[in-house]
Amino acid sequence: MSKKNKKQNFLQSDNSNSTKGDTILDPVASQVVGEERRLQQKEIDVMHNDYAFCKRILREIAGASLKSGFIVKSGNEELDLKVMKRFTELECSDYIVELLINGLKDGICFMFPIIEGPNLETGKELDLRKINRIRDINLFYARDINQIQRQMDKTIERYGECKNIDFKNSYGKVQNVKIDSSWIITYEPYPRVDKYTPLSSEYGDSFYKALWDLLIVKDNGIWSVGQLAYAMLLKKLKIGDQTKLDSILNRIGKDKYQVKKEMEINTSTLITLGKDDDLQAVGFTQGLNIKDLKDYIYNELSAALGIPMSKLVGSSQGALASAKEDSNRWYEYIEAFQKDNLDEILRKVIKLLYAEQKKYDIEFELEFNSIRAVDEKEKAEIEKIEAETLKINVEALIQMQKMIEGFEIDKATLESLKDSLLNKIKDLSI
């Protein structure tokens, strides 16, 4: 019987010093090119809870989408004010932000209104006319799902949508509860209909999958630049006694010893020194700038995710570009997010609040307030940056005139230089 050919791991690096694709040191080593890597819940939780960068990005997106607020118009101003008052009393904004964050993080999340009036009937549709009052709101998370029943008939609208969800209810009177989709507001930002069946526990992808693909899985520029950046920050392991080191090396060999220590301190670049040895500069990283490498990585992430660089790196590193041009990109991103993600969620919440006021089939308009209204702090920062830039250009123009006094210079060249600086000053003054 012939042995089966072992699948080739194309992710493994040819560099003996790299851990990329290593079966022990690289978590994606078993992946084969063309095979999709689905993030496990534990991996998602680690990314979200242990890395402030990941958590901040989701909070920025969710928070910005509701920051400027919205208005509803049904033609009955008094009724609309009552609905918006209840929206505030129930702290709906806070719950919706958490719904968005957890939906983006896990791939799915559910908002469940606690209704005073009808008891929750397992698997039964909610009758809006029986709503007396909404007392509170709870969230169900991906980890609470037992099974999801989906609409998989392609001749019916909303193919792949949740119909019934069987949830774990560990601390309730009923340990498992099946809820009809009419009772809950489901947020599934990146659905995977190709993986769904009429009854399963499958749901959409996490927002973090794109980050994972960029930073870990794909053999691309970001990964390579990351390795260069890491090599510039070389980790070293000092052994205090040469005799002890010789004894270890004789017993297990240098290669095994190095791999063992690499695993212990989780590094792909290791140098072993004796107590009296000097650390030599690593030649291939000389001349590289760590800031340039970081900027490259953030630019690649920005292009892939559609999120401006200033939001990825944090506002503390903002500049004139982030204050104006980058901010416009952010506004465009959030406006698209409101349209594609938030609008439907808000309409379902508002519909419940109108039902609470005994208005069941009312038609209403929902409009988001402009997110382009710059707050006072941001406005002051922009004006400060513009003033500093204006001052620099004015000083440059004055200095240029002083420098050319007494020198012969082509008139056209002089005018070109002046026009260039004056145009910059003009642009900043508009």
Q: In what order do the strands lie in the sheet with 162-168?
A: 176-180, 162-168, 145-150, 199-200
Q: In the chain, where are the structural domains located?
A: 1-35, 108-204, 215-312, 376-429
Give the containing element (helix H, strand E) for 47: helix 41-50
Q: What is the pLDDT of residue 117?
A: 72
Q: What are the strands, taking DSSP E only, across 117-243?
A: 133-141, 145-150, 162-168, 176-180, 185-187, 199-200, 235-239
- Alpha-carbon distances of 139 from 174, 355, 415, 417, rounded to whole Å: 17, 21, 66, 62
The confidence score (pLDDT) of residue 1 equals 46
Cα dist from 341 to 5, 99, 181, 182, 333, whole Å: 46, 11, 18, 18, 12
Q: What pLDDT was estimated at residue 253?
A: 73
Contact residues for 345 (Cβ-Cβ < 8 A; gap 6+): 96, 99, 100, 111, 185, 187
pTM over 0.85: no
Produce one character per residue of 187-221: b if its CB has 16 or more CB atoms within 10 Å, e if not.
bbbebeeeebeeeeebbbbbbbbebbbbbbbeeee
Which position has the higher pLDDT, 315 or 416?
416
Q: What is the pLDDT of residues 207-225, one digit of tens each?
A: 998 877 776 544 455 555 6
Where residue 51 falls among pLDDT bands split at 50, 70, 90? confident
Look at residue 422 in the predicted model and tell me its pLDDT: 63
Q: Check residue 278 and give its pLDDT.
A: 53
The mean pLDDT of the chain is 76
Q: Which residues pair with 180 in a beta bridge?
A: 164
With tokens 């089966």, the residue in question is 4
Which long-range CB contacts under 8 A does 54-60 form with residues at least 24 apart?
54/208, 54/211, 56/314, 57/307, 57/311, 57/312, 58/100, 58/101, 58/104, 58/105, 58/207, 59/97, 59/101, 60/311
pLDDT confidence tier of residue 310, bands split at 50, 70 and 90: confident
Beta-carbon contacts of 112 under 8 Å, excluding residues fewer than 6 positions away, are 137, 138, 139, 140, 179, 183, 184, 185
Q: With left for phi above 0 and alpha for psi between -120 and 50, is residue 288 left, alpha or beta?
A: beta
Separation CA 33–CA 10 (nearest Å): 6
Arithmetic mean of pLDDT, 123-145: 92
* Reported confidence tier of residue 228, pLDDT bands at 50, 70, 90: low
pLDDT of 264 > 60? The answer is no
- pLDDT number for residue 320: 44
Q: Give the residue-averaged pLDDT of 347-370.
A: 95
Q: Give the model's pLDDT for residue 385.
A: 62
CA angle in degrees (0–180, nearest 5) for 226-228-229: 65
Cβ neighbours of 334 (radius 10 Å): 24
The DSSP symbol for 163 reads: E
Looking at per-residue pLDDT, the higher value among 135 and 254 belongs to 135
